[in-house]
Amino acid sequence: MGYVDRLVEREHELGRPVRIGLLGAGQMGLGFVVQVSRIAGMEVTAIADIAPERGVHAFGRAGRSDVLHGAPRAELVAAVHAGRPVVVEDALELTRLPVDVIVDASGVPDVGASVAFHGLLAGKDIALLNVECDVTVGLLLSTMASSMGRVYTVCRGDEPVECKQLIDYVHDLGFSVVCAGKGKNNPLDPAATPGSLTERAAGKNMNPHMLASFVDGSKTMIEMAALANAADLRVSRRGMTGPHATVEELAKVFRPEADGGVLPGTGYVDYCTGPVAPGVFVIGYCDDETVVAEMEYLSMGEGPYYAFYRPYHLASVEAPLTIAEAALDRTPSLAPRAWNAEVVAAAKRDLRAGERIDGIGGETVYGVTDSAAAARAEDLVPLGLVAGATVLRDIPAGTLMSTLDVQIAETSTIVALRRLQDRMLA
pLDDT digits (tens, 9 = 90+) for 59-98: 999 999 999 999 999 999 999 999 999 999 999 999 999 9
**Rounded mean pLDDT, 238-267:** 98
Predicted local distance difference test score (pLDDT) of residue 102: 98
Predicted local distance difference test score (pLDDT) of residue 174: 98
Residue 175 — φ and ψ, nearest 5°? Answer: -90, 150
Check whether 206 has a pLDDT greater than 90.
Answer: no
For residue 67, CA distances in Å to 38, 77, 87, 92 come to: 18, 13, 7, 19
Rounded to whole angstroms, how far apart are CA atoms 390 and 388?
A: 7
Give 178-199 pLDDT, tens digit per residue: 999 999 998 899 999 999 999 9
Predicted local distance difference test score (pLDDT) of residue 240: 98
- Provide, rounded to the nearest whole percent, the portion of the chain with pLDDT above 70: 100
Predicted local distance difference test score (pLDDT) of residue 3: 97
Predicted local distance difference test score (pLDDT) of residue 186: 83
Predicted local distance difference test score (pLDDT) of residue 47: 98
Rounded to whole angstroms, how far apart are CA atoms 103 and 49?
A: 12
Predicted local distance difference test score (pLDDT) of residue 14: 97
pLDDT bin (cut points 50, 70, 90) of residue 122 is: very high
Looking at every residue in the chain, the average pLDDT score rounds to: 97
Predicted local distance difference test score (pLDDT) of residue 165: 98
Predicted local distance difference test score (pLDDT) of residue 215: 94
pLDDT bin (cut points 50, 70, 90) of residue 201 is: confident
Rounded to whole angstroms, how far apart are CA atoms 134 and 403?
A: 21
pLDDT bin (cut points 50, 70, 90) of residue 124 is: very high
Selection from 133, 124, 174, 146 nearest residue 337 by Cα = 146
Predicted local distance difference test score (pLDDT) of residue 205: 84
Residues 60, 64, 66, 71: is their CA dihedral positive or negative?
A: negative
| Contact between 152 and 421 (Cβ < 8 Å) | no
Predicted local distance difference test score (pLDDT) of residue 234: 98
| Contact between 117 and 102 (Cβ < 8 Å) | no
Give 24-61 pLDDT, tens digit per residue: 999 999 999 999 999 999 999 999 999 999 999 999 99
Which residues does residue 382 pair with via DSSP β-bridges, in sequence order? 344
CB atoms under 10 Å from CB of 299, counted, come to 6
pLDDT bin (cut points 50, 70, 90) of residue 412 is: very high
Q: Which domains does the chain have, with CATH numbers?
A: 3-157+316-329 (3.40.50.720), 159-312 (no CATH), 341-425 (3.90.1210.10)
**What are the residues whose beta carbons fall under 8 Å from the beta carbon of 249, sequence distance 6 or more?**
none
Rounded to whole angstroms, how far apart are CA atoms 176 and 170?
A: 7
For residue 260, CA distances in Å to 181, 254, 305 come to: 18, 9, 12
Selection from 148, 153, 133 nearest residue 332 by Cα = 153
Give 337-376 pLDDT, tens digit per residue: 999 999 999 999 999 999 999 999 999 999 999 999 999 9
**Rounded mean pLDDT, 158-184:** 98
**Rounded mean pLDDT, 210-236:** 96
* CA atoms within 13 A of residue 18's CA, in its CB half-sphere: 30
Rounded to whole angstroms, how far apart are CA atoms 215 and 109?
A: 19
Cα Rg, the chain, nearest whole Å = 22
Check whether 315 has a pLDDT greater than 90.
Answer: yes
Which residues does residue 356 pair with via DSSP β-bridges, in sequence order? 390
